[in-house]
Amino acid sequence: MTAPAADTVDRGGTGGEWAGRREGTPYGASRRSTSVRVLAALAWLEARRYVSNPLFVVGLALTGLMMYSTLRHPISDLNGLHSAPAMFLGVFGIAIGFRLSQALDRTAETLAVTPTPAPVRTAAMSLAALVPFVFGVGSLLALVVMERLRGPAFGVFGPADQVTILAGQVAVSALGGPLLGIAVARWARTLWVLPVVVVAIGVWIFVVTGLAYAYPGSLLVAALRLFAPYAYFFDSPGGEGQVTTWRGSPEYFLGWQLALCGLTFLTGLVRGATGPARRRLLGALGVLLLTAAALFILAFTGGLGHALVTYPDGHTRPW
C-alpha cells in the first residue's frame, strides 16, 4: 500500500492554486486535506507493520497466556498480574517503536511518500502505538469483566480507584512504551541508546519500589516512587490477604502518566519540525510540562496521607 505523494502537497504555485479554484475549494483547504490523507495512509501502513512485527506477536501471546493462566484462579496479588501487559506490550513496545522509526526512512515501501515532513512521519508512527493500546484496554476489560477485583487485593481502594490503577498500569503502559521508543529513535540513531534507556527506567522503578517496601509511610519515598511512568500502590508483605496500601493518588498519577505520553509524543514531533510549526510544538511542550509537574505534585501529595494495612477480616490500621 502506498500513500499519495507528499510533494503534491507542497507544489502550491500558480498551478496548484488554479487547480484548487477549478474544484471550487481554497488551495489551503485542499492542501490540508491531502496532508490528512498522507498521514492516514502512513498511519495505516505503520499499524500493519506493528501488528506483523514478530516481537509484538510474541508479546501478545505471552500476555494472553499469563492473563489466562492467572484469571482462572482467585487473585490475591494484582502486582504480578498487571505486570504482564506492561512488560510484554509496553516494554516490548519500546523496542518495536524504536525499530519502526529507524526503518521508516530507509524502507522501499515508503519511497512513494518521500519527502514527507519528519513530523508527519513521526505522527504516523505514533498513531500506530494505538495498536498495543487497544490490546492493553482489552486486558483491562478482561480483569473487570472477570470480576476478580473484589476482596482485599486492592487494600483500601474502592472500585473507581481499582479501575484507575489498572488503567495506568495496563492500558497506558501499553501506549507509552511505543511512544517512548519512537521519541528515542527520532533523537538518537545509535542502537545502544535504546537498552540504556530501558535499563535506566527499569532500575529506577526497582530501586524506588524497594524503598517503598521499606518506608511505605514516607512522603519523600512516595514522591520518588511516583516519579516514574509505572508504579505500584500496594503490596502483600504479610502473606495472602494482608495488603499494605501505599501513599499517593491513583487519579492524579494516571493524569501524570498521560501527560508523560503527551510529552513523549511532542518530543518526537519536534525533531525535524521547522518555522512556526516548531515554535507551536515547543509552546505546547512548555504548557504540557507545567501540567505534568502539577499532576505529579498532586499525585504524591494527594490520596492517602499515610500507609494503611488491611487484614483478611477487613479491618485496617495505620502502618
Lowest mean pLDDT among 58-72, 124-138, 277-291: 58-72
Rounded to an integer, what distance in angstroms lies between the CA atom of residue 263 and that of residue 284?
9
| Predicted local distance difference test score (pLDDT) of residue 188 | 87
- The SS3 assignment for 77 reads coil
Q: At what angle do helices 27-52 and 118-128 cross, to 10 degrees?
A: 50
b/e 239-252 (16+ beta carbons within 10 angstroms → b): eeebbbbbbbbbbb
**Of 288, 285, 278, nearest in space to 119 by CA:** 278
Q: Residue 122 has which C-alpha cell?
A: 513521526
**Of 181, 198, 191, 192, nearest in space to 95 by CA:** 181
Flag whether pLDDT at 72 surpasses 80. Answer: no
Residue 181's contacts (CB-CB under 8 Å, 6 or more residues apart) are 93, 94, 95, 96, 97, 98, 99, 100, 101, 194
| 27-39: average pLDDT | 70
Regarding pTM above 0.85, the answer is: no
pLDDT digits (tens, 9 = 90+) for 188-245: 878 889 899 999 999 999 999 889 888 888 899 999 999 999 998 887 765 566 778 8
Could you tell me the strand order of the sheet in which 316-318 lies? Answer: 234-235, 243-245, 308-310, 316-318
**Of 72, 44, 119, nearest in space to 280 by CA:** 119
| 262-291: average pLDDT | 94
End-to-end CA distance of the chain: 59
**Of 55, 32, 47, nearest in space to 126 by CA:** 47
